[in-house]
Amino acid sequence: MAEKKRYSDAELEEFRQIINEKLAKTRQDYKETMDQLMNKNTNDVDDTSPTYKALEEGSLTQTKEELVGMAQRQQKFINALEAALLRIQNKTYGIDRITGELIPKERLRAVPHATLSVESKNAHKNH
């Protein structure tokens, strides 16, 4: 029997559902992170004492930096998931971009935006 070169339409549909669920959750997380950054739903301390305000400034800066980093990671993940949906549409999803072989389903279920098998990723990392 010949080795499969791509996943079937039914298999691709299963992956599309997994990706769409992750995408919806990540977009919601991203929106909440951006809302926090923009102070849309905050209980600010503007009306409390200046001493407390001064102490708050330091932790506020760190928190904002952490939120920006988190938002950037979420946006990158959203982009990767959207690219995976395009690969499903083009029927190239799940194909290792180095070897051209199918990435195991277990890996794609865990990391649906993967473009490398674990072996290819490890080999690529060592170069």
What confidence tens digit (pLDDT) does each residue in 69-120 have? 999 999 999 999 999 999 999 999 999 999 999 999 999 999 999 999 999 9
Q: Can you give the pLDDT at residue 43? A: 56
Token code pair at residue 51: 């001493």
pTM of the model: 0.79
Is there a domain that residue 71 lies in?
yes
Q: Which residues contact 62 (CB under 8 A, 6 or more apart)?
A: none
- 37 or 73, greater pLDDT: 73
d(CA 55, CA 82): 41
Q: Can you give the pLDDT at residue 1? A: 45
Burial, 65: exposed, middle or buried (Cβ in 10 Å; 0-12, 13-18, 19+)? exposed
Range of the domain at 22: 9-93
pLDDT for 41 beyond 60: no
Count up the domains in the chain and report the number: 1
Q: What percent of the chain has pLDDT over 70?
A: 80
